[in-house]
Chain A
Amino acid sequence: MNIQLVLFFVLALVAIATALGMLVSRNAVYAALFLVLNFATVAVFYLLLDAPFISVAQVTVYAGAIMVLFLFVIMLLGGEKLNYPSKLHWQRPAAIVLGVILFAEAVVIVLGQRGLLPMDYPLPDSFGSPVDIGGNLFTTYLLPFEVTSVLLLVAIVGAIVLTKNEKK
């Protein structure tokens, strides 16, 4: 039992516990804070997977910017109380049945592909470094990168158009 395996299992326990905490918490602020902790543990998983750049981007973009925006919206709109009852009585059993089916499918697929899963592989020294990522992004993957920038531009224009007051 080496140190990486111990770290993985402890962090996996924290990640699953915080995800479940987000699922069951009755207060939206608590749910958002659970999700911040979950994103932080996922960032440590990225470090374990030799991806330091993605790990730091996860902390700054997800745990930092996006979740702070969430908390800001929740507190600004005052929507933190979530305890109104559901009108659909069949929603909970149907959701549990569908979740169990999805889980069974995923387990069958992952275990069925077990022999095809990649093995451990010696990595090049520059793996996951910002220099490597930037070089790949602006040479090999330039077209997907530019398409992503156009997609973000469409999202910005859409947000402005949707929030504009229409003259009656």
Chain B
Amino acid sequence: MPVAIEYYLGLAVILFIIGAMGVLLRRNALIIFMSVELMLNSANLAFVAFARYW
């Protein structure tokens, strides 16, 4: 029995929220860009999880 998809979705949600907080909290353009990369990565993780379990 592999890991349930809810766990991957929860992890993707948490990483996305951290990235969004980075965009909202930090004032440096490079850090904001890195936070955007983190949000893109969490969306990719959700995509791959859906592709695996659908």
Contact = CB atoms under 8 A, between A and B. Distances in A.
Interface residues of B, number: 42
Interface in B1-26: 1-3, 5-11, 13-22, 24-26
A158 to B, nearest CB: 16
A99 B16 CA distance: 10
A79 B37 contact: no
Interface residues of A, number: 54
Contacts, number: 125
A26 B50 CA distance: 36
A70 B30 contact: yes
Interface in B24-54: 24-28, 30-31, 33-35, 37-38, 41, 44-45, 48-54
Nearest to B15: A19
Interface of A: 2, 4-5, 8, 12, 15-16, 19-20, 22-23, 28, 31-32, 35, 38-39, 42, 45-46, 48-51, 54, 58, 62, 66, 70, 73-74, 79, 82, 84, 86, 91-92, 94-96, 98-99, 102-103, 106-107, 110, 114, 117-121, 123
